[in-house]
């Protein structure tokens, strides 16, 4: 077994021999995990697990010894990697960050340049796309850290998540749109007479707003979708019966000429989280940058 397979073996034991749960935590398929176990036992002509039929119920004496040895090897391996970048000033390597465009404009416009400048030995790769697409990239480990919106739909035991901003979604319309004549907060049924401009389905905001309509038995008349928030706003500015949803936190970051912001009676929350997959070990650079991002928002995980 290499170090990856030792971690697989350890996770099976840690999940009380529940292969389904272990596979979920490791983000691999259960058949792959089963094949790895069977192949290892067959190749080495040993039995690591006690079985009742096809079900694993515990460790054999050999398995117990192997588990204790595996824990020691995994710890030594982690220590070895950590010692490569023992001091913070020696932190170097590559980190892939996934950030939705709106969040980048509203929350990270100042944070990200400071983060990059203060870590000159780290190569940052910034992936800018919708949070729904970033969720999939995080699950498949194409990115190290993702900025997602809650609810993100990932099981708590799979992901480590910290809220850095809480706001709500508001409606933007042309100042000639009849919705501007409404007194007080908008109701969802007030919107159904008008056409909508949404982020496309790679954005969690698209799914959250769509779900809000569906929960109320309403249908949004979709006129266009885009990945660009400034295009959505410009479309609203030019088409009088169009509306779009954006976070209220954007109010100070946009050109308000010709448009108005309207608040909802029962708004969709805009809860922004910094997320990473839960692992038994993080590369020093990845862990350092994750903590540095949280520190920018006055969050400590020590």
**Greater confidence, 74 or 104?**
104
Per-residue pLDDT averaged across 178-185, rounded? Answer: 89
Per-residue pLDDT averaged across 204-215, rounded? Answer: 93
87 pLDDT band, cuts 50/70/90, is low
pLDDT of 183: 81
A 10 A CB-CB count for 142 gives 13
Using only the alpha carbons of the chain, give its radius of gyration. Answer: 24
Residues 6+ apart with CB under 8 A from 215: none
Determine which of 86-100, 171-185, 272-286 has the lowest per-residue pLDDT on average: 86-100
Task: Identify whether 61 is preceded by a cis peptide bond (ω within 30 of 0).
Answer: no
Residues 6+ apart with CB under 8 A from 189: 216, 218
- In degrees and rounded to multiples of 5, residue 178 shows phi and psi of -55, -20
Eight-state DSSP code of residue 207? H
Place of tokens 């608040």: 263
**Greater confidence, 40 or 1?**
40
pLDDT of 82: 63
Residues 6+ apart with CB under 8 A from 57: 17, 49, 50, 51
Place of tokens 């919107």: 191
Considering the chain, what percentage of its residues have pLDDT values greater than 90? 57
pLDDT of 302: 63
Q: Contact 152/161 with Cβ under 8 angstroms? A: yes
Determine which of 77-86, 203-212, 273-282 has the lowest per-residue pLDDT on average: 77-86
Interatomic CA distance for residues 144 and 126, integer angstroms: 11
pLDDT of 83: 66
- In degrees and rounded to multiples of 5, residue 96 shows phi and psi of -105, 120
Closest CA to 66 of 42, 46, 45, 39: 46
């Amino acid at each position: 077994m290499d170090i990856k397979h030792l971690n697989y073996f350890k996770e099976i034991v840690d999940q009380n021999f529940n292969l389904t749960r272990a596979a979920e935590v490791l983000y691999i398929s259960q058949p792959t995990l089963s094949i790895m176990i069977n192949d290892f036992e067959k190749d080495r002509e040993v039995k690591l697990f006690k079985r009742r039929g096809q079900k694993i119920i515990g460790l054999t004496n050999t398995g117990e010894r192997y588990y204790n040895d595996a824990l020691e090897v995994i710890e030594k391996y982690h220590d070895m990697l950590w010692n490569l970048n023992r001091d913070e000033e020696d932190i170097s390597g590559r980190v892939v960050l996934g950030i939705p465009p709106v969040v980048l404009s509203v929350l990270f416009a100042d944070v990200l340049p400071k983060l990059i400048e203060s870590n000159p030995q780290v190569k940052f790769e910034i992936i800018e796309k919708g949070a729904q697409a970033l969720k999939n990239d995080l699950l498949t480990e194409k990115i190290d850290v993702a900025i997602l919106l809650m609810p993100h739909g990932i099981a708590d035991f799979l992901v480590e998540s910290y809220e850095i901003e809480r706001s709500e979604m508001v409606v933007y319309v042309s100042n000639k749109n009849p919705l501007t004549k409404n007194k007080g907060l908008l109701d969802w049924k007030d919107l159904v007479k008008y056409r909508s401009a949404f982020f496309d389905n790679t954005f969690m905001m698209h799914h959250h707003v769509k779900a809000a309509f569906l929960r109320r038995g309403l249908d949004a008349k979709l006129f266009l979708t885009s990945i660009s928030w400034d295009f959505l706003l410009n479309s609203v500015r030019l088409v009088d019966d169009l509306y779009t949803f954006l976070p209220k936190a954007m109010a100070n970051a946009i050109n308000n000429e010709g448009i108005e912001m309207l608040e909802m009676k029962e708004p969709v929350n805009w809860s922004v989280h910094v997320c990473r997959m839960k692992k038994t070990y993080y590369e020093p650079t990845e862990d350092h940058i994750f903590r540095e991002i949280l520190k920018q928002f006055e969050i400590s995980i020590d």
